[in-house]
Amino acid sequence: RCVAASASASSSPATAAAEVPAAMKAWAYDAYGDVGVLRLDGAAAVPAVGEGQVLVKVAAAALNPVDAKRRAGKFQTTDSPLPTVPGYDVAGVVVRVGAGVKGFKEGDEVYGMISEKPLDGPKQSGSLAEYTAVEEKLLAPKPKGLDFAQAAALPLAILTAYEGLERAGLAAGKSVLVLGGAGGVGSLAIQLAKQVYGASKVAATASTKKIELLKSLGADVAIDYTKENFNELPDKYDVVFDAVGQGDKAVKVVKEGGSVVVLTGAITSPGFRFVVTSNGATLEKLNPYLESGKVKPLIDPTGPFPFTKVVEAFSYLETGRATGKVVISPV
């Protein structure tokens, strides 16, 4: 932050670049495995800035289940080579600008998901580090009024919620059931369905303690899955958005001709899967909703975790009980 603040205020780009060190602190792993493979590297290389990329001084990052699945080796065949610095979600300040970059300059506050395809050749040097290099097309200006921790809580989850609802054809006046409404993706899917799409009815599932939260996010119907099976209730929906992995049950509550988007687990027809694509333009399109407060990031109250506590943060995320996003801040 300090680097960028001084750079934007008075220094020339050359001076600002000189302020970026060659080495940085970064979380990394050299082999696939559980949280035990994570180590804090005190002298990782600051990534080079390629054409069309900017270097971001990371102010905050967030964890996603995909970070844990990738670390476990689930995507080995398409992963980048080890060692890996994990982390897809970033919010921070541009401190260096690569050739051909037009949209951002040093000092700009940005947020985004750093790899265009999270499973297919993701970046080796991710956001759980002091610096990360990102294509400008994957970034958007940080929403005004949100701090870095709040902005970091958004990219992968909100892009997934948005792309899923788009692909499912949600539109004004249609109904939607969000399975897993209290998680990182689900909490945003509820809000987008209500605030951006104008859904006529939004239902969502969670356990007992999170039922009031679902309502506060805008759910018209909150189903406590410890008490009721959503697939045994009479209601049917135009869209079912499954962020849990209940594709077999999800297809039982969709209306004839409706859509069932399944983020994880087995797929039962007519359900379908997609893998989120990062895109700064989509974030920018959503910024007005974030700036007006119509759509709000939800940060798990157990956090934010400081940068030194990334192992604890992953252990918590991997319980599968997080409420909203597990955020790492400050970095």
Stretch that binds ligand NDP, among 123-131, 282-290, 303-311, 313-321 (CB under 6 A): 313-321
Dihedral sign, Cα of residue 18, residue 19, residue 20, residue 24: positive
In the chain, which ranges are E strands? Answer: 23-28, 39-45, 53-63, 89-97, 109-113, 131-135, 139-141, 175-179, 201-206, 221-224, 237-242, 254-262, 326-328
Give 48 or 275: the residue with its C-beta nearer to ligand NDP: 275
* DSSP states of 231-280: GGSS--EEEEEESSS-HHHHGGGEEEEEEEEESSS---TT-B-------H
Residue 253 interacts with ligand NDP (CB under 6 A)?
A: no
User: Stretches 3-11, 22-30, 106-114, 320-328: which one binds ligand NDP (CB under 6 A)?
Assistant: 320-328
What count of other Cβ atoms lies within 10 Å of the Cβ of residue 188? 31
The interface with ligand NDP within residues 57-116 (CB under 6 A) comprises 64-66
316 touching ligand NDP, by CB under 6 A? no
**Of 15, 207, 229, 292, which one interacts with ligand NDP (CB under 6 A)?**
207
**SS3 (DSSP) at 203:** strand
Q: Is residue 186 a contact residue for ligand NDP (CB under 6 A)?
A: yes
Among 152, 276, 310, 327, binds ligand NDP (CB under 6 A): 276
Q: Does 222 bind ligand NDP (CB under 6 A)?
A: no
CB 133 to ligand NDP: min, Å: 22
Q: Which stretch binds ligand NDP (CB under 6 A): 89-97, 205-213, 284-292, 305-313?
A: 205-213
Measure the CA angle with vertex 190, ends 111 and 218; round to 5°: 115
Residue from 210, 260, 316, 331 in contact with ligand NDP (CB under 6 A) = 210
Task: Note whether 197 binds ligand NDP by CB under 6 A.
Answer: no
Six token digits for residue 223: 């189903």
- What stretches of 60-144 show up as alpha helix (H) in DSSP? 65-71
Q: Is 176 in the site for ligand NDP (CB under 6 A)?
A: no
Closest to ligand NDP by CB, 30 vs 212, is 212
Q: Minimal CA–CA distance to 157: which of 180, 173, 124, 136?
A: 180
Max Cα separation, the chain?
Answer: 65
Helix axes of 184-195 and 280-291: crossing angle, nearest 10 degrees: 70
CA count, 13 A, side-chain hemisphere, 68: 18
On whether the CB atoms of residues 106 and 97 are closer than 8 A, the answer is yes
Query: Considering the complex, what minimum distance in angstroms separates the CB of residue 248 from ligand NDP?
Result: 13
Tell me the residue nearest to ligand NDP as measured from the CB.
Answer: 183
Minimum separation from the CB atom of position 99 to ligand NDP (A):
31
In the complex with ligand NDP, the residue whose CB is nearer, 131 or 314, is 314
Q: Which residues bind ligand NDP (CB under 6 A)?
A: 64-66, 157, 160, 179-180, 182-186, 205-207, 210, 225, 243-244, 263-264, 275-276, 317, 320-323
